[in-house]
Amino acid sequence: MRIKLIVSSLALMTALSACGKEGAEPKGAADQGAEMAGDSVDLFAGIAVADASNDQGDTLLSAYDGPYGGVPHFDEMDIAGVKPALEAGMEKNLAEIDAIANSETAPTFANTILPLEKAGDELGRVFTYWGIWSSNMSSPEFREIQQEMAPKLSEFFSKITQNEKLFARVKAIYEGDEYKSLRSDQQRVVWLTYDQFASNGATLEGEAKERYAEINQRLAELHTTFANNVLADEEGYVTYISGEQLGGLPESFVKAAGAAASERERDGEYAITNTRSSMDPFLTYSNERNLRETVWRTYYSRGDNGDDKDNNAIIAEILQLRDERVGLLGHDNYAEWRLQNRMAKEPQQALDLMEAVWPAALARVEEEVAEMQAIVDADGGEFKIAPWDYRYYMEKVRQAKYDLNSDEVKQYLQLGKLRQAMFFVAGELFNYDFAPVPEGSVPVWHEDVGVWEVTDKTTGEHVGLWYLDPFARAGKRSGAWMTGYRSHDTLDGIKKTPLVSNNSNFIKGAPGEPVLISWDDAETYFHEFGHALHGLSSNVDYPTLNGGVRDYTEFQSQLLERWLSTDKVIDNYLVHFETGEPIPDELVAKIKAASTFNQGFSTTEYLASALVDMRYHTVDPEGIDPDAFERATLAELGMPDEIVMRHRSPHFGHIFSGEGYSAGYYGYMWADVLTSDAAEAFAEAPGGFYDKDVAKSLVDNLFAIRNAVDPADAYRAFRGRDAKIDALMRDRGFPVPGGGADDTTVE
Ligand SMILES: [Zn+2]
């Protein structure tokens, strides 16, 4: 049922949520921003008949047409059409739902579940365009529309999940005799549909039901306000510095900062904008300790400035409403409700994993701080390492210990070559071929966007389209993400082929010059491509089965990062931008040696956020003061003074800009456990990372199947057992607890 997918995407579309390989690696310039994997690739069922009306918004509602089974009209988007199209799409979807709900015939899979799967085509298409405006080309005008429409969309969703007649039909099928005779994937569609209703208040009656809908509507507003406040603080606070204050900063950063100042009519100065991609390299390289403190404070105060953009009161209200809402459903706390259909199944499982890793991370931080303090002391610096010193001295330790200069590595990381490397990997693992579509044959929303046709290398069969929007520009949100415009299904006997996109914020080079990126950014590039392959390889029959399981959807993308450092990629694609020489073995050895470097910092900043998230959603939030709660929780955990949460509460968009990652931020590490364990399956295979048998098992059991099988079962089919935490500990250079006892198994 698409409504599940639509609503879970709302939070992401009306807000800036997040993706990425949180805490997996030392972070460079990459801003691990949102992507909508799993949640939004599913909105976009394609072929349908357009209404013949002449209302505004026609283009946004109408069927995709043209080549490749139809493609979106990205060249004809008119923002004036958004509201009417959205309203018409919702109305149409509600009419479809009513027709199903009001049927007089006894409910069956064919007359209820199947039409539900088909419903919502038009609205799904409107959301494709909505997503482009929201993420790729935002504007104040669009943000106003978002703010206005958020509660209406929430109300729309409630109308469906609280449709008693519809729920009664779904329930009858779920509990009836026919269910037992259905195929297992069909049973899963029924269960996921039933669960979507049950966990969203369908079992409620009377006042409780009304209150439930009220809460949802208010939450939608609060999530949007939260996100907009963070955005306002990111845009509203810029630190300007002069030419005398550039000490230590790489040339590329200086250039970008100069351009950013000029854009703001401050020619001759340099702008340190309030985003991760600006803050992170500044803190890594700037010699100016006072400025580092200023930039650090500005960044980690987003949403926490005591002004009209302050998010603390909003957090308190969000937590109280979420708690009240799950209370109506009979749950003790939000996390318990949230995790019931996740791979982890219950909060304690997630906490067990985090608490197993936390002490090792803290112990590592102590070592890292000692190493850094030694440098400070040797330089005669009379201060203790502060949070704004961490990245700076870590870089010094990195250079001393591994002699690894990030700028030197960059010379071998050309954006164009990396794309070829990803195509090579997809060819080896998935048997895919990528070819650019004929110029002008597929509409795009900006001239920088490229489109490739994906085909099967052996049969030549069309698989789907891959869009790439690589460069930063005004109105495009930060970070990197993947999204989909149509997902695979076989409804009506038509095989719909996926349309997926990768989006990044690389800085465009001068004409003819290659774009050079950091190792972290290269990993992120592969990461997002992993999401794209997950979408492209889908072979499920029903839209619902394309849906993601939050603590599982990052696994496939994180795993794909591992191919960046395979020999075949290194030898053929990581070549110097001037000489064409492959990256020297010695430098690769250093990169590999450095991969466990800084794990104290990155694991701790991540886990602190994940643990605080889980605490917020397991305590009674009555009268909660987020500021005090955050401090008390961190103190209790023994958070080191030298590190701050990767996302402090007032700008923790993952969990407060929507519900995509709320009580779910642990999911990155959960996926990391699977990633490390699955990577060892390749490492142990005769053909290593290019072993054909393991690759086939990977594609069949863990990619193409999407959510047609319970993720825990899917993983067992691939690995022959549950994942163990040991490989993750080895990857991070932490001691393996208990020598690999059973209690470190992740189901
Ligand atoms: Zn991701």
| CA atoms within a 13 Å half-sphere pointing along the CA-CB vector of 118 | 19
Q: What is the DSSP code string of 661-716?
A: STTTTTHHHHHHHHHHHHHHHHHHSTTGGG-HHHHHHIIIIIITTTTSS-HHHHHH
Query: Which element (helix H / strand E) includes 36?
Result: none
Residue 9 has pLDDT above 80, yes or no: no
Q: Return the minimum-mean-pLDDT range out of 46-50, 351-355, 560-564.
A: 46-50
| 743, pLDDT greater than 60 | no
Q: Cβ neighbours of residue 177 under 8 Å, at least 6 residues apart?
A: none
CA 624 to chain centre: 28
Surface-to-core class of residue 392, CB atoms within 10 Å of its CB (0-12 exposed, 13-18 middle, 19+ buried): buried
For residue 528 the two structure tokens come to 């997002």
Q: Is 493 left (phi over 0), alpha (psi -120 to 50) or beta?
A: left
Q: Identify the DSSP state of 222.
A: H
Hey, which residues does 18 pair with through a beta bridge?
33
Instruction: Say how far apart CA 650 and CA 307 lie, in whole Å.
Output: 12
At what angle are helices 251-263 and 276-285 packed, to 10 degrees? 140
Determine the distance from the C-alpha atom of residue 275 to the mean position of all C-alpha atoms in its chain, rounded to a whole number. Answer: 17
Q: Is the pLDDT of residue 16 over 60?
A: no
Q: What is the mean pLDDT of residues 269-282?
A: 93
Tens-place pLDDT, residues 336-352: 999 988 888 899 989 99
**Tokens standing for residue 494:** 């038509």
Q: Mean per-residue pLDDT for 549-559?
A: 89
Report how far ligand 1's centroid is from the alpha carbon of 110 (Å): 35
Q: How far is the CA of 180 from the centre of ligand 1 (A)?
A: 36
Catalytic (active-site) positions: 528
According to DSSP, residue 739 is labeled G
Distance 17 CA to ligand 1 centre (A): 11
pLDDT score recorded for residue 25: 28
**Cα–Cα distances in Å, from 376 out to 15, 72, 247?**
41, 56, 17
Between CA 96 and CA 85 the distance in angstroms is 16
Among 647, 52, 745, which residue's Cα sits nearest to residue 343?
Answer: 745
Write the pLDDT tens digit of every residue in 567-590.
Answer: 999 999 999 999 999 999 888 888
Tokens of 448: 């920088």
Instruction: Find all residues with CB under 8 Å of 631, minimum gap 6, and list them.
Output: none
Q: Residue 739: which pLDDT band, with cuts at 50, 70 and 90?
A: low
Residue 304 or 157, more confident? 304
Q: Which tokens sit at 156? A: 């729309």
Collapsing DSSP states into helix, strand and coil, what is residue 612?
Answer: helix
Is 277 in contact with 31 (CB distance < 8 Å)? yes
pLDDT digits 0-9 by tens, 461-505: 999 999 999 999 988 988 899 999 999 999 989 999 999 999 999
Ordered alpha helix ranges (H), 62-107: 82-101
Quick check: helix, strand or coil at residue 470? strand
pLDDT > 70 in the chain, percent: 91
End-to-end C-alpha distance for the chain, whole angstroms = 27
Ligand 1 center from residue 225 Cα (angstroms): 24
Give the model's pLDDT for residue 38: 30
pLDDT in tens, 707-721: 999 999 999 999 999
Separation of 282 CA from ligand 1 center, angstroms?
A: 25
Amino acid residing at 438: P
Ligand 1 centroid to residue 641 C-alpha, Å: 29
Task: Report which DSSP code applies to 185.
Answer: H
Q: Closest by alpha carbon to 25, among 618, 712, 523?
A: 523
Q: Return the structure tokens found at 201.
A: 């208040």
DSSP structure class, residue 137: S
Output the pLDDT for position 154.
83
**Could you please report the per-residue DSSP string of 525-586?**
HHHHHHHHHHHHT---SSGGGG---TTTHHHHHHHHGGGGGSHHHHHHH-B-TTT-PBPPHH
Is residue 32 pLDDT above 60, yes or no?
Answer: no
Distance CA 67, CA 441 (A): 8
Dist. CA 519–CA 402, nearest whole Å: 15
Q: Which residue bears the tokens 């930060």?
A: 478
In whole angstroms, what is the distance from residue 11 CA to residue 199 CA?
17
Mean pLDDT of the residues in the chain: 89
Global pTM value: 0.82
CA of 635 to the centre of ligand 1 (A): 30
Identify residues whose C-beta is under 5 A from ligand 1, the ion: 19, 554, 557
pLDDT tens digits, 149-179: 988 998 898 888 879 899 999 999 999 999 9
pLDDT value of residue 590: 84
| Neighbouring residues of 257: CB distance < 8 A, sequence distance ≥ 6 | 241, 249, 270, 271, 272, 278
